Amino acid sequence: MCGIIGYTGKKMNAKDIVLAGLKNLEYRGYDSSGIAVNENGKINLYKSHGKISNLEDRLKGKEILSSTAIAHTRWATHGKPNETNAHPHRCGKVTLVHNGIIENYMELKKELLEKGVTFQSETDTEVACAYINDIYESEKDKIKCLSKACSAFRGSYAFAIIFDDEKDVIYATRKDSPLIVGLSDDGNFAASDVSAILDFTAKYILLEYGEFAKITKDKVTIYNADLKEIEKEVKVATWSATEYKKNGYDHFMLKEINEQPDVIANIFSRYLNDCNYNDIDFLKYDAIHIVACGSAMHAGMVGKYLFQNYANIPVTVDIASEYRYSTQMITPSTLVIIISQSGETADSLAALRLAHSKGATTLGIVNAVGSTIARESDICIYTYAGPEIAVATTKGYTSQVAILSTLVINAMKQKGLLSDELFENIKQDFSNISSNLNHIISKKEDYINVAQKIFDHNDLFFIGRGIDSAVCMEGSLKLKEISYMHSESYAAGELKHGTISLIEKGTPVIAIATNNDLYEKTISNIKETKARGAFAIFITTDNFKNSTFEDFSDISITLPKTTEFVQAIEVSVLLQLIAYETAKLRNCDIDKPKNLAKSVTVE
Ligand code: F6R
Each residue's pLDDT tens digit, 445-487: 999 999 999 999 989 999 999 999 999 999 999 999 999 999 9
Which of 486, 214, 195 has its CA nearest to residue 368?
195
Residue 562, by phi and psi: left (phi above 0), alpha (psi -120 to 50) or beta?
beta
pLDDT in tens, 562-573: 999 999 999 999
Measured in whole angstroms, the distance separating CA 327 from the mean position of its chain's CA atoms is 26
pLDDT band, very low/low/confident/very high, at 75 (cuts 50, 70, 90): confident
The rounded distance, in Å, linking the Cα atoms of 204 and 232 is 10
Residue 288 predicted with pLDDT over 70:
yes
Q: Is the pLDDT higher at 40 or at 365?
A: 365
How deeply is 415 buried, as exposed, middle or buried, from its count of CB atoms within 10 A (0-12, 13-18, 19+)? middle
Please tell me the distance from the alpha carbon of residue 210 to that of residue 150, in angstroms, as a whole number.
Answer: 9
Q: Exposed, middle or buried by CB within 10 Å (0-12, 13-18, 19+), for 115?
A: exposed
The enclosing H or E element of 6 equals strand 3-9
Q: Is the pLDDT of residue 78 over 70?
A: yes
Question: Which ranges in 194-311 belong to alpha helices (H)?
Answer: 252-273, 294-311
| Residue 575, ligand 1, Cβ within 6 A | no
CB atoms within 10 A of CB 131: 24
Please give the pLDDT value at position 278.
62
Ligand 1 neighbour 341 (Cβ under 6 A): yes
Q: Which of 28, 75, 177, 293 to mutate to test ligand 1, by most ligand atoms within 8 A of the CB atom?
A: 293
Q: Do residues 339 and 292 make contact, with C-beta atoms less than 8 angstroms apart?
A: yes
Instruction: Tell me the torsion sign for CA atoms 322, 328, 331, 335.
Output: negative
Distance in angstroms (rounded) separating the CA atoms of residues 157 and 199: 25
Alpha helices in 181-276 (DSSP H): 252-273
Dist. CA 99–CA 27, nearest whole Å: 13
Closest CA relative to residue 112, chosen from 88, 90, 129: 129
Concatenating the DSSP letter of every residue in 143-193 gives HHHHHHHHHH--EEEEEEEEETTSTT-EEEEEEBS--EEEEETTEEEEESS
Read out DSSP for 444-475?
A: HHHHHHHHHHHTT-SEEEEEE-THHHHHHHHH
Q: Is the dihedral of CA 417, 422, 424, 430 positive or negative?
A: negative
pLDDT at 238: 85
What percent of the chain is helix, strand and coil (3-state, nearest 5)? 40, 25, 35
Query: How far apart (Å, rounded) are the C-alpha atoms in residues 149 and 105?
Result: 12
Q: What is the pLDDT of residues 414-437, one digit of tens each?
A: 999 999 999 999 999 999 999 999
Q: Are 201 and 184 in contact (CB under 8 A)?
A: yes
Cα distance between residue 282 and residue 416, in whole Å: 12
515-520: long-range contacts, CB 8 A cutoff, minimum separation 24: 515/465, 515/466, 515/467, 515/468, 515/564, 516/543, 517/466, 518/465, 518/466, 518/468, 519/544
- 275 pLDDT exceeds 80? no
pLDDT at residue 274 greater than cutoff 80: no
The per-residue pLDDT for 551 is 84
Question: Does residue 295's CB lie within 6 angstroms of at least one atom of ligand 1?
Answer: yes
Could you give the CA distance from residue 150 to residue 466 in angstroms, rounded to a whole number? 49
Q: What is the pLDDT of residues 355-372, one digit of tens each?
A: 999 999 999 999 998 889
Q: How far apart are CA 97 and CA 158, in angstroms?
A: 8
Asked whether the beta carbons of 163 and 149 are under 8 A apart, the reply is no
pLDDT (tens digit per residue) in 321-345: 999 998 778 999 999 999 999 999 9
Calculate the dihedral angle through the C-alpha atoms of 162, 165, 167, 169, rounding to the nearest 10 degrees: -40
- Cα 426 from chain centre: 29
How far apart (Å, rounded) are the C-alpha atoms in residues 300 and 280?
Answer: 18
Nearest to 287 by CA among 340, 329, 338: 329
Across the range 503-521, mean pLDDT stands at: 94
Q: Which helix (H) or strand (E) holds 91?
A: strand 89-91
Is residue 64's pLDDT more than 80? yes
Distance 599 CA to ligand 1 centre (A): 7
Is residue 2 part of the annotated active site? The answer reads yes
The closest alpha carbon to 79, from 45, 132, 33, 125, belongs to 125
Question: Could you tell me what percent of the chain has a pLDDT over 90?
Answer: 86
Amino acid type, 426: I
* Amino acid found at 438: N
Active site residue 293: no
345 lines ligand 1 (CB under 6 A): yes
From the number of C-beta atoms within 10 Å of its C-beta (0-12, 13-18, 19+), residue 116 rates as: exposed
362/380 Cα distance (integer angstroms): 8
Segment 561-584 shows an average pLDDT of 98
**Residues in contact with 601: Cβ distance below 8 Å, sequence separation at least 6, in sequence order:** 1, 2, 99, 100, 156, 176, 177, 178, 344, 345, 346
**Protein residue closest via CA to atom 6 of ligand 1:** 293
Cα 172 to Cα 205: distance, rounded to the nearest angstrom: 12
Distance CA 237, CA 198 (A): 8
Asked if residue 387 has a cis previous peptide bond (ω within 30° of 0), the answer is: no
Question: Could you tell me if the CB of 371 is within 6 A of ligand 1?
Answer: no
Average pLDDT over residues 301-308: 98
Rg of the chain, C-alpha, whole Å: 25
Give me the mean pLDDT over the 542-569 stretch. Answer: 89
Query: Is the shortest distance between the CB of 340 and ligand 1 below 6 Å?
Result: yes
Residue tagged active-site, from 2, 91, 293, 588: 2
The yes-or-no verdict on residue 547 having pLDDT over 70 is no
Q: Which residues pair with 535 in a beta bridge?
A: 508
Residues, the chain, total?
603
Closest residue by Cα to atom 5, ligand 1, is: 294
Residue 232, Cβ density class (10 Å: 0-12 exposed, 13-18 middle, ≥19 buried): middle
* 380, 393, 484, 576: residue to mutate for ligand 1 pocket, most atoms within 8 A of CB: 393
Mean pLDDT (the chain, rounded): 94
Q: Please state the rounded mean pLDDT for residues 565-593.
A: 97
Strand runs (DSSP E) across 313-470, as ranges?
315-319, 334-340, 361-366, 379-382, 459-464
Q: Whose CA is nearest to atom 11 of ligand 1?
A: 294
Residue 276 pLDDT level (bands cut at 50, 70, 90): low
How far does residue 345's CA lie from ligand 1's centre (Å)?
Answer: 8
Average of pLDDT values for 536-555? 87
Q: Which of 193, 253, 345 to mutate to test the pocket of ligand 1 (most atoms within 8 A of CB)?
A: 345
- Between the CA of 340 and the centroid of ligand 1 the distance, in Å, is 7
Q: Does residue 134 surpass a pLDDT of 70?
A: yes
Measure the CA angle with vertex 594, ends 593 and 595; round to 5°. Answer: 120
